[in-house]
Amino acid sequence: MSLLFTDAELGDGRVVDVRVEGETVSAVDATLERRPEDEPIDVAGKLLLPGMVDVHVHFRQPGFPHKETWATGSRSAAAGGVTTVVDQPNTDPPTVDRDAFDEKAALAADSLVDYGLNGGVTADWAPDSLFDRPLFALGEVFLADSTGEMGIDTALFADAVAAACGRDVPVTVHAEDATLFDESARDRSDADAWSAYRTAEAEASAVEQACSVAADTGGRIHVAHASTPAGIDAADAAGMTCEVTPHHLLLSRADLEELGTHGRMNPPLRSESRREAVFERVVDGTVDMVATDHAPHTRAEKDTDIWSAPSGVPGVETALPLLLGLAARGEMSYERVRELTATAPAKRFDLSSKGRIEVGRDADLVVVDPTAAEPVRANRLHTKCDWTPFEGHEAVFPELTLVRGEVVYRRATDTFGEPAGKNVRLL
């Protein structure tokens, strides 16, 4: 049995037929002769895109299954057209040694989508034990944070970058320099106080420090959730890559009155003028990719004062749909959406079977009706946390999502496939 998608628009002007045999794309051409074993799927007028590779999610297991699980997080991913996720290490236990990696890997067997697992760096990490496992990367290593539970100093950061680069493991960095936070904002209690406290200057400074450490060790780093034009430009100037989240692309401090403590995340929302400058850099190619930093917390956890609320917002299900919404309105090309969500992350992180609809690559596919724009509604999403900072934003959700040739989500019936996700470092 094979699937034959006919008259698929690839988003770059090309209209093709695409055949899927087993887990992979076996043919792409203007027209493919239909064979008896082909099951045809007419997608005329629709986009066929490579599934999103989201290199930054927090699926919260082990440790915090009341916020999200591999089952609920991966359903949310599949419904949003995300076919590969990369989970960050700040779970409980943190993924800093072999045993913790193995515990998480066992839980990830519940995933509907393919996944990578990042290792973490803490004062008591065990590099030899950790690097013994198929890591995706060292994940959002938190440089220059004096307060966070996973923050490390520059010396340990340099050791970690050297150790990872020596083993060809990528390093992604959470770049905020806590010495540049504005302590005077601590007197305030409004939601905007978080943005005033974690200053824009703290990001560019940390990006510069991280890039200079990477240059000293001959390594390359990837800057997670860049939120300011200065941070993006610093990474770009140093020849490093960066990702931007949908919330830093679409939301700003102007939204905090409405979002309240639900709009608290790290790095925080920035001014509207900085958001616009970030948007320009996403469109013009300075920013390499979009990643969600999907970081769910329950409403009850978020409904407290701004200094006590946990940082983070959900986003894995809405990222690609929001970008498709922008493309449908002409604010970004479909080609750029494809590059930001699939091609670029697959290339940067050496996923040679992902990111493109090409013969021999995994059939990680998303079918989209570009005319089907609708407002985001939390009650239609599948994340366990049951809310979204993008309520009411126009989005185009996928009709169908396939991972390695298997349908994992069908929007018409709101039904999911079986969990069969694999560690992409073992594919």
Q: How are the residues of the chain apportioned to helix, strand and coil, as percentages rounded to the nearest 5?
A: 35, 20, 45
Q: Which is nearer to Zn ion, 293 or 317 (CB)?
A: 293
Q: Which is nearer to Zn ion, 390 or 409 (CB)?
A: 390
d(CA 246, CA 267): 13
State the residue number with the nearest CB to Zn ion: 293
Cα–Cα nearest to 232, from 200, 256, 254: 200
Binding residues for Zn ion, total number by CB under 5 A: 1
Site for Zn ion, residues 20 to 59, rule: CB under 5 A? none
Cβ at position 210, least distance to Zn ion in Å? 15
d(CA 120, CA 100): 10
**Cis preceding-peptide flag for 36 (omega within 30 of 0):** no
The reply to whether 68 sits near Zn ion by the rule CB under 5 A is: no
Residues with Cβ < 8 Å from 284, sequence gap 6 or more? Answer: none
Q: Which is nearer to Zn ion, 114 or 293 (CB)?
A: 293
Cβ at position 88, least distance to Zn ion in Å? 5
d(CA 58, CA 72): 12
The owner of tokens 């966070």 is 148
Binding mask 236-275 for Zn ion (x = CB under 5 A): ----------------------------------------
Q: Which is nearer to Zn ion, 58 or 384 (CB)?
A: 58
Cα–Cα nearest to 421, from 47, 92, 130, 87: 87
Read off the tokens for 153.
Answer: 């100093």
Cβ at position 21, least distance to Zn ion in Å? 37
Interacting span for Zn ion (CB under 5 A) from 2-10, 105-113, 195-203, 285-293: 285-293
Interacting span for Zn ion (CB under 5 A) from 181-189, 287-295, 372-380, 403-411: 287-295
Q: Are 119 and 134 in contact (CB under 8 A)?
A: no
Q: Which of 208, 293, 339, 362 binds Zn ion (CB under 5 A)?
A: 293
Interacting span for Zn ion (CB under 5 A) from 41-49, 293-301, 364-372, 376-384: 293-301
Q: Which is nearer to Zn ion, 68 or 293 (CB)?
A: 293
Interacting span for Zn ion (CB under 5 A) from 229-237, 276-284, 289-297, 318-326: 289-297
Interacting span for Zn ion (CB under 5 A) from 200-208, 253-261, 288-296, 352-360: 288-296
Q: From the centroid of its chain, how far is CA 100?
A: 22
Read off the tokens for 321.
Answer: 């749909």
How many other C-beta atoms can be found within 10 angstroms of the C-beta atom of residue 318? 30
Q: Which is nearer to Zn ion, 93 or 419 (CB)?
A: 93
Q: Mind telling me the catalytic residues?
A: 293
Q: Which residues pair with 52 in a beta bridge?
A: 82
The type of residue at 356 is R
d(CA 30, CA 182): 58
Q: Which is nearer to Zn ion, 177 or 293 (CB)?
A: 293
DSSP assignment of 296-311 equals: ---HHHHSS-TTTSPP
Q: Which is nearer to Zn ion, 293 or 362 (CB)?
A: 293
Cβ at position 266, least distance to Zn ion in Å? 8
DSSP assignment of 83-119 equals: EEEEE-S-SSS-S-SHHHHHHHHHHGGG-SSEEEE-B
Interacting span for Zn ion (CB under 5 A) from 93-101, 207-215, 233-241, 286-294: 286-294
Read off the tokens for 56.
Answer: 């930054």
Site for Zn ion, residues 336 to 375, rule: CB under 5 A? none
Cβ at position 57, least distance to Zn ion in Å? 8
The type of residue at 116 is G
Binding mask 377-396 for Zn ion (x = CB under 5 A): --------------------
Q: Are 298 and 72 in contact (CB under 8 A)?
A: no
Cα–Cα nearest to 281, from 338, 242, 335: 242
The full length of the chain comes to 427
- Which residues are at the interface with Zn ion (CB under 5 A)? 293
